[in-house]
Structure 1
Amino acid sequence: MPTQIELARRGQVTEEMKIIAEKEGIDPVFLREKVASGRVVIFRNLVRNNITRLTGIGEGLTTKVNVNIGASTDHYNVEEEMKKVEIANEFGADTIMDLTDGGDIDYMRKQVISKAIMPVGTVPIYQVYYEMVAKRKYVIDFTEDDIFRVIEKQFKDGVDYVTVHTGVTLELARRIPKANRLAGVVSRGGTVMAAWSIYNEKENPLYSNFDYLMELAKEYDVTLSLGDALRPGGTADAHDELHVGELMVNSSLAKRAVEHGVQVMIEGPGHMPLDQIEMDVKLEKQLSGGVPYYVLGILVTDIAAGYDHIAGAIGGAIAAQAGADMLCYLTPAEHLSLPTPEQVKEGLIAFKIAAHAGDMIKLGDRARQIDNKMSKARSSLDWKTMFSLTYDPNKAKSIYRQYKGMEAGSCTMCGDLCVYLVLPRAVNKKINNATQGKKI
């Protein structure tokens, strides 16, 4: 079957395009043209039919938020991960990635796909790695066939996009020991692929066999997310030779994918100082020809452990306003632990706020309408409307009522000195006095 890109190039507005265009408030023909050019991707594996929250990312669309879940080799609990899926469903995640790297990975992935109402992504190299461990082999003893067997298996299961570490070439891998990075290489998949290439003295098979990877992706219309294997893991490492070198490789591959009718996006950049974020987004867009940019964080400081969802949301908002297309959330557990369901919720909401804050600049009035509704509701003390416009109505109500028994009148911060009570009272009193004076 033809991919979304191929259908768009034939002049067809697909059902997915119609739904997304209506949700975004844009012209379906405009969206079709963006898909045809590769500047927008629509996540939808052809074998999957249970997506009710269709998601498109790219130029002219609202900034989306991805939620990472998944068990680890240290902690495998299906029920807990399904609770995280429920939270992602309820609180508006646009996509979800299953990063399970231990236990029964196939079962976990199938459960996530069956319960998630939005597109699902994975990182296939995690399963390749774990299968080596389970067979008591050295982590880099896998073959090229092992990689593509797992990738195709996950495509057949229905994943809508996959992170593939295509940009860590043998040449770049050889530079890693000499790069003098403070934080080294922090991508799990990137580390595995770099180690494999160096140990075997062979080119990264995801790079050397990119044509075959595109062939598989095209068969299922899976979006390739070209991973940031060499992303900076510390702010001091941003835009070094490894980071920029990988971006250049992935940008070239992304252009090839678009030419071949394969949906593609690029990932980046991890940790980065505030003043480099806008430049980084513009660099990705320039090098890739406008391919969607999926950013992790961006973490603007390295010392916010326990609050990395805040540090990442700050960078995410700046990236969004500069043109980034999807934010990968962080939770308070980042760098510390597998997140709990509650921490998943905290991270998701923090990044939903960041995405919207960026869209207020990137998309202007189209994004600001909801803020204007909130402003009007606040000025009239319309609590019902205010609560309905928040990201977590129950939490907002709970805080409002923590010192008050009913949802009416002012909040307990200002009480009787509420600005929306004092001034109207004065004005009304003056009008009443004037009216009474005239009667006399």
Structure 2
Amino acid sequence: MRRRILRATVVAVVCAVVLFSVPLAVVVLRLYRQDEVRELQQLADQVAVSVPADVHDTRDPMELPPTESGTRLGVYDDTGRLVIGAGPVRGDGPVREALAGSAASRRLGDQLVAAVPVGSGERVRAVVRAASPADGPLRRAALTWTGMLGLAAVAVGVGVALSVRSSRRLAGPLEALAATAARLEGGDLTARAAPSGLPEADEVADALGSAAGHIDRLLRRERAFSSDASHQLRTALTRVRLELEGALSATAPTDPHDAMRTALASLTHMETTLGDLLALARDVPERASLDIGELLAEAERRWHGELAAAGRPLLVIAEEDLPEAVGSARAGRQVLDVLLANAVVHGSGAVTVTARDAAGVLAVDIEDEGPALPEDQDVFARRRNGGTGHGIGLALARSLAEAEGGRLMLSGRSPHPRFTWLIASRYEEPGQ
């Protein structure tokens, strides 16, 4: 690209110089010739003033002024015959035109000739003829052309220097963009092109960086989805396994239909969970009106039996005139399931779910009667193998809540753990 820019700039400069200098060179030569003819006419006029009334009068011989080398002066009588000076013996074309009463000038062979009549009115008593070499203006023009050629060379050199600088300035950002694109293609989604100062290239770099960031977020979301989906499905599969193993134990009732129905219900819930997670893997949050009453009723139906079987009551409270909220029902189901599952596994005693108005924002509190949480424990951290904590579920719930424009936080550590889910209102945007 740099060579193409350099070649195009040099060609443009050379064409501009040629188109400008060739007509100028022709005009310069013509001006020098006109200047030479004018000088000859002025010289002839000066001599014509001193020409006596009778050019043949020997008592008062006429003297011609000295001239430059190569310039010839001659005086002709009214018959066109040379009287004094240098020139053809018989007057040539310009002399004859001057005898007719008008000054004349032209090029004859290798000379420029100017002839001026001497006299007034219709009577011309003499003619002054001045001639100089015709190559004089050409030599002067050649010197001027040499200077013009030098200036043209300087102009071409400046054009080349500017084109080299411009090619570097233009090609450098594009080469950096190409290198950044190659790094992105190689999997380095953190690659970014540094600002170049060229607005167009910087706009492309910003767009490329935005696209890379968007792709990076999508990949992170897909990886998180894989972990989250495996966690949720593993929890449901463990529940089904325990139910089936309990039905097959020696102390189980002889009729396994109840266990099979419970297992089918768990599989149906697992299928719903998988569908919800697949739908939530998108990048654009759903901004539909959220029916919090229906969500709480579904959560109560799903978790009442399991908590009742463990002797733990589930209390769901919804205040009157709750604020309107928007979001995804799928995300809401998953957030409530994660928080209730966390209360089942890590908590104890009664579980209370309260929907309330928190300064114009819909808030849902989930609290159980389990032990207080340590101040230094981050319950939302993703648990690694061999680590301690509340696992991947709470991290999933927080990411789902934030993706829908809400917040999920641990609002109380003692005397009992309390989680609060703030749901986005109709006028809020995600991430605010």
TM-score (norm 2): 0.21
Greater share of residues in strand: 2
